Structure 1
Amino acid sequence: MTYVHADATVVIGPLGRRAEPGAHDLCAEHAAKLTPPVDWQLIRIDSGQAPPERSHDDLLAIADAVREAADRADRTPPGPESSPADDPAAAGRRHGHLRIIGDS
């Protein structure tokens, strides 16, 4: 969706392939329900293409990628970015204006 203020026009078309200033992507439901401001013209551009359907294989590929990333994170030893809360000796110690409180 794009507003052309100089022409008092709202243009609804296919999703953009890249980010454009002043352009907004809408889902099909909101694009269908959109009404222009009073005295504005609405132009709907149909791309002639149906949106690609997601297959079961696509969802499985995403799930596999998430599992692999989680497995790598589990095998990575804690480094300097680990939280002081992970260190039992740090319980009760102050860090600036914050304090780590251990489980009792």
Structure 2
Amino acid sequence: MSLVRRCSRTACGRPAVATLTYVYADSTAVLGPLATYAEPHCYDLCAEHSERLTAPRGWEVVRLSDGSAPSRPSGDDLEALANAVREAARPPERRAEAWGAPRKESGGAPGQGGPATGETRRGHLRVLRSPDS
């Protein structure tokens, strides 16, 4: 049975997602990923309290990322994804036209994707048609 560690803030019962440690010699508060084990003199914080964390005047807050959390997609990523979904939703004859192929399903160059392989590609995204379609 695994126990969920809770936020150290008084009256907050939300699950902890980050650990706060103080480096008094450097006047620094370090907020990082949730520590593997609960350590004395460290504080586990929920998402809300870790986002709102402030330090005393003259102190610096260092926020460390563990890299495992998904980064927020950029506008370019979201636009490319939307374009790939729109392309996959087009009727096959319109997809062929978008690839510069004639109206009949004559296909594109080998390895380039397109109507012959059932692959639609836009930028770094690729949408594969279901074998059933």
What range is the shorter-chain TM-score in? 0.3 to 0.5
Q: Which protein is richer in helix relative to its size?
A: 1
Q: Per chain length, whose mean CA-contact separation is higher, i.e. which structure has more relative contact order (CA < 8 Å, sep 6+)?
A: 1
Q: Which protein is richer in strand relative to its size?
A: 2
